[in-house]
Every structure is written in C-alpha cells, then in structure tokens.
C-alpha cells in the first residue's frame, strides 16, 4: 500500500512537471506573434498568458478524458510504473527540444511516451488502436487546417484593409493583437493543461483511488497552476523561432495567425480532441505568410520543424519503452 501511494505521488509530481515544462515550452504559442511585432511588452505578455492559461485550463475536462481513456484499452491494463515511464520519456524530449529551440509538440511527446511504455509492459493489447488513430488524425489534420484557414483569414483581411496605408493598418492591428494573444492563451490552456489532468486521473483510476474517470477538482487546479507557473517562466528560445524565423510578421499578419490559431484550438477542445498548439500556431503562421506570397515563408526552417514533428512520436515511444525497463527494475 505504501509503495502504491509513493508511485501515485510520483505520477502526480511528474505530470505536474510535464505541465510546467509544457507551459514554458509552449509560451511561444500564445505570445510569440504579439511580442515579435512589439504589440505588447514581453513581461506583460507572459503575465497575461499565464493568467489566461490558468482560466482556460479550468474550462473543461473533455480532452483529459480523451487522453486518459482513448490511448489505453482500459485502466486495468496499465499501472503507475507504465505512466511514470511515459511521463519521463515525454519530459526528456520536451527539455531536449526546448534546449535546441525546436518547436516540437508536447502532445505528440506524451502520446508517444504512453504508447512505448504500454507496448513493452503489456503489449499491443493494452492499446486502444481506434482511440490512438483518432488522436493521431487530429494531431496531423489540425496544422493542415490551420494553414488553409490561415490563408483564408489573411486574404480576407487584405481584401478589407488592402487600400489603407500600411502604417495605419499596423497601428490598428498592433492594438488588436493584445486581444488575439489573449484568446490564444485561453485556448492553449483549455487544450494543453487537460493532458496532464488525464494522466493523473488515469493513475488514480488504475490505483483504485477513484471509481470512474472523472477529473477531480483538485487535479484541475494543480494542473492549471503548474501550466500557469511554467508559462510565467517563459520559453524565450522557442519564441524567437516561432516569432521571427518562419515568416517576418507584421501586426496584421500576427493578429490573423493568433485569431486563426485560437479558433482551431478551441474548436478541437469543444470536440474533446487533443491537438498540438505548437503545430497549429506554426501552421497558422505558414498560412498567413503564404497568403502574402509563397516565398515569404522560410520553408527551410519550416522543414526542420516538420522533421521534428514526424520524429516526436517514434522517438518518445522509444524513450518511454526504455524508461519502463529502468523504472520497472527500480520498483521490483
């Protein structure tokens, strides 16, 4: 019993660490565009993002139920050791990509870590292949949708404001970027923080601490707080990549990218689908850049990011598998 309690406690701590890292890893998603166009001071942007990430994280638990219930076939198929290994694989990947300033997906990392740990512990029968397929489709489709809708939004804005002086347009949209960054921060919290909630709730269910998969209020508060604190730290390395290396943003294009991203992400939240906010934001920036002209986008940087996206799930699956061997030997 004491060992089970220790393992549950370890899961909660690691999930909150993952949430914290997710917060500073993905700070760029919410504020990179507004900071790069100087619409808002960096410190003010980070504080705003932290508060709205917390509020967004408290919004619902639909995505948490998808993460906790649709990757594994049942809670009986996993134990705390498996979940610890999955979290370790995702955390290591997130730290590595943050250090290299590569905007990779925390969502992909978590899904990959769980798949790898479950495969080596109980085999493929422990995985819900239909649920995993649904999640992967959402993760792949969301940035494609963001590119397409980003092009449409930017073309619409060009049509409406194209006859005005560039200086007038920039002044108007620099102020509006504060609002679009706020909506982006809220939508980010509404989707990303729920992933840790789902993992913690799965551990509580498999350990017999709760009878049904319902996210307890204290789990919501803990996860929301961890993400808000991580956001407050700020991920400056990735902010530079997203804010300036994909496409040279102006206030109008920054507004379009943020607005488009927040709509795509929040729609996914309403559908209880986990998406990568990193992928969606990057896709939106590529879309608004393409609307200006195709060669305005630095496709070399975009290609490097896509490679990181493709490699994330298999790499974290291997990390989760290796972590399971280590952790299972420690807790024999």
Distance in angstroms (rounded) separating the CA atoms of residues 312 and 215: 27
Q: What is the per-residue pLDDT for 246? A: 58
pLDDT score of 265: 92
pTM of the model: 0.84
Note the pLDDT of residue 74: 79
DSSP string, 225-277: HHHHHHHHH--HHHHHIIIIISS---HHHHHHHHHHHHHHHHHHHHTT----H
pLDDT of residue 188: 84
Domain residue spans of the chain: 2-330
Strand partners, 72: 127
pLDDT for 294 equals 77
In the block, which residue shows the tokens 């307890």?
216
Please report, for residues 31, 161, 233, 300, the alpha-carbon distance to residue 47 in angstroms, rounded to integers and kept in the order given: 10, 31, 9, 32
Residue 177: the pLDDT is 85
Strand partners of residue 127 = 72
Q: At CA 254, angle to CA 250 and CA 258, rounded to 5?
A: 180
Q: Which residues of the chain have pLDDT under 70?
A: 1-4, 25-30, 32-33, 101-103, 234-248, 296, 298-302, 304-305, 331-332
CB 46 within 8 A of CB 231: yes
C-alpha closest to that of 285 among 102, 97, 143, 142: 143
> Measuring CA to CA, which residue among 53, 81, 146, 68 is closest to residue 111?
68
Which residues are CB-contacts of 190 (< 8 A; sequence separation ≥ 6)? Answer: 56, 57, 59, 60, 63, 265, 266, 269
């Amino acid at each position: 019993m004491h060992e089970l309690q220790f393992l549950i406690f370890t899961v909660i701590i690691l999930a909150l660490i993952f949430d914290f890292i997710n917060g500073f890893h993905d700070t760029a998603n919410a504020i990179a565009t507004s900071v790069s166009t100087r619409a808002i001071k960096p410190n003010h942007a980070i504080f705003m993002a932290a508060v709205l990430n917390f509020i967004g994280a408290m919004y619902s638990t639909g995505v948490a139920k998808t993460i906790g219930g649709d990757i594994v076939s049942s809670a009986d198929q996993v134990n705390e050791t498996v979940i610890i290994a999955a979290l370790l694989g995702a955390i290591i990947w997130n730290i590595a990509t943050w250090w290299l300033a590569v905007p990779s997906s925390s969502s992909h990392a978590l899904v990959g870590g769980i798949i790898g740990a479950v495969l080596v512990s109980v085999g493929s029968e422990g995985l819900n292949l239909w649920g995993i397929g649904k999640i992967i489709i959402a993760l792949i489709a969301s940035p494609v949708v963001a590119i397409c809708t980003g092009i449409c939004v930017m073309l619409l804005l060009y049509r409406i404001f194209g006859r005005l002086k560039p200086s007038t347009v920039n002044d108007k949209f620099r102020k509006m970027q504060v609002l679009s960054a706020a909506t982006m921060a809220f939508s980010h919290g509404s989707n990303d923080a729920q992933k840790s909630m789902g993992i913690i709730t799965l551990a509580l269910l498999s350990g017999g601490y709760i009878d049904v998969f319902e996210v307890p209020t204290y789990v919501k508060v803990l996860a929301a707080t961890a993400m808000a604190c991580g956001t407050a730290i700020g991920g400056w390395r990735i902010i530079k990549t997203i804010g300036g290396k994909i496409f040279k943003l102006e206030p109008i294009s920054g507004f379009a990218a943020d607005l488009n991203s927040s709509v795509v992400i929040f729609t996914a939240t309403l559908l209880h689908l986990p998406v990568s906010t990193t992928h969606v934001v990057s896709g939106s920036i590529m879309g608004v850049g393409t609307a200006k002209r195709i060669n305005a986008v630095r496709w070399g940087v975009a290609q490097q990011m896509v490679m990181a996206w493709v490699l994330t799930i298999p790499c974290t699956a291997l990390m989760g598998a290796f972590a399971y061997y280590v952790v299972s030997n420690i807790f024999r």
